[in-house]
């Protein structure tokens, strides 16, 4: 028996899904675990995946319950790789969606890697420079599953131009709805990539709204970020479709004036600001995050806002 432990992350875990496929090919039975061990759980080997380093207490609790767990994922070791288990071409193994029987969509990567080297991001260190890995045809589960694709690409337009052009053609020709879940790099967008995005049936991760995810993390990128928003607008992607993640509490010496400047500029552009607190122990940042993403900023000024759960005033 193989127990596959999903420690964190909101999406089905591709690494665990590929592990499940491989172990089944070896004749093993697999089970997804998101809980403590029960009396009726039999003996077996435990493999776990964790994305976030701050979840070490949760991993320790799982180990106390399940015993030794072979962990992988960026939350444990940035350079972790499934080849530590077996020297096979893991990218070519189809994910085992039976681990997540209620999940309806298809998810995967058309490319790996990133062109940038943001100091708070592990992607370049883990995956290297951008390279193509899969087509939309590889990712889609086929009929009767919905034509809804969750792309996990960290830099979709970073792969060679002819490759992302082919992926866009696939999405359009196949009448797919797509969520670029890790976002697009608005600093790198040009006329051609903006027009490509405008041609897509892009959606949020639940396929309910017309949303493109992007980010403005560094105050110094204001000019180039706004340039990207303007290019997208002219191509047919209105700012109201942009959910903009803004990292707060990371830059050394960042002031509230600087945080409010980015936030207010995003509102003025017509974008949807989505602050992300780098330090989750900062109650003031968490209160600001909640005030913003719930939309309360439209009704209550920050200096009048009080978060009853945190007992914080703006």
End-to-end Cα spacing for the chain: 52
Count the helices and strands in the chain (H runs, E runs).
9, 15
Q: What is the DSSP pairing of strand 30-33 with strand 212-215? A: unpaired
Helix (H), strand (E) at residue 185: none
276: number of CA atoms within 13 Å, CB side?
Answer: 13
Mean pLDDT of 105-128: 87
Instruction: Map residue 100 onto helix, strand or coil.
Output: coil
Q: How far is CA 272 from the centre of its chain?
A: 17
Q: Which of 182, 195, 122 is nearest to 155 (CA)?
A: 182
pLDDT tier at 276, thresholds 50, 70, 90:
very high
Q: Name the average pLDDT for the chain.
A: 94
Q: What are phi and psi of 109, to 5 degrees?
A: -110, 135
Residues 6 or more apart whose Cβ sits within 8 Å of residue 245: 183, 213, 214, 215, 216, 217, 274, 275, 276
Q: What is the pLDDT of residues 178-194, one digit of tens each?
A: 999 999 999 999 999 99
Omega of the bond leading into 144 within 30 degrees of 0 (cis): yes
The answer to whether residue 168 scores a pLDDT higher than 70 is yes
């Amino acid at each position: 028996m193989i127990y596959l432990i999903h420690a964190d992350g909101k999406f089905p875990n591709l690494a665990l899904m590929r592990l499940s496929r491989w172990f089944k090919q070896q004749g093993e039975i697999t089970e997804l675990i998101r809980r403590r061990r029960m009396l009726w759980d039999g003996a077996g080997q435990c493999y776990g995946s964790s994305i976030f380093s701050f979840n070490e207490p949760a991993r320790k609790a799982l180990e106390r319950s399940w015993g030794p767990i072979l962990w992988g994922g960026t939350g444990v070791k940035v350079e972790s790789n499934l080849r530590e288990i077996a020297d096979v071409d893991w990218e070519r193994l189809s994910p085992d969606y039976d681990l997540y029987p209620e999940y309806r969509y298809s998810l995967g990567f058309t490319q790996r890697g990133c062109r940038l080297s943001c100091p708070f991001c592990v992607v370049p260190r883990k995956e290297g420079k951008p390279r193509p890995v899969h087509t939309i045809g590889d990712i889609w589960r086929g009929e009767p599953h919905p034509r809804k694709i969750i792309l996990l690409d960290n830099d979709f337009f970073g792969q060679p131009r002819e490759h992302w052009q082919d992926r866009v053609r696939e999405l359009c020709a196949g009448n797919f709805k797509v969520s670029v879940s890790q976002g697009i790099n608005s600093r790198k967008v040009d006329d051609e990539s903006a027009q490509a995005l405008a041609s897509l049936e892009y959606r949020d991760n639940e396929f309910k709204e017309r949303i493109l995810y992007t980010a403005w993390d560094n105050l110094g990128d204001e000019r180039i970020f706004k340039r990207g928003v303007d290019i997208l607008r002219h191509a047919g992607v209105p700012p109201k479709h942009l959910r903009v993640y803004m990292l707060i509490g990371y830059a050394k010496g960042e002031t509230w004036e600087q945080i409010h400047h980015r936030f207010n500029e995003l509102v003025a552009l017509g974008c949807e600001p989505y602050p992300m607190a780098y330090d989750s122990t900062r109650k003031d940042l968490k209160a600001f995050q909640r005030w913003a993403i719930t939309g309360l900023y439209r009704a209550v000024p920050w200096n009048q806002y009080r978060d009853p759960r945190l007992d914080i005033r703006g």
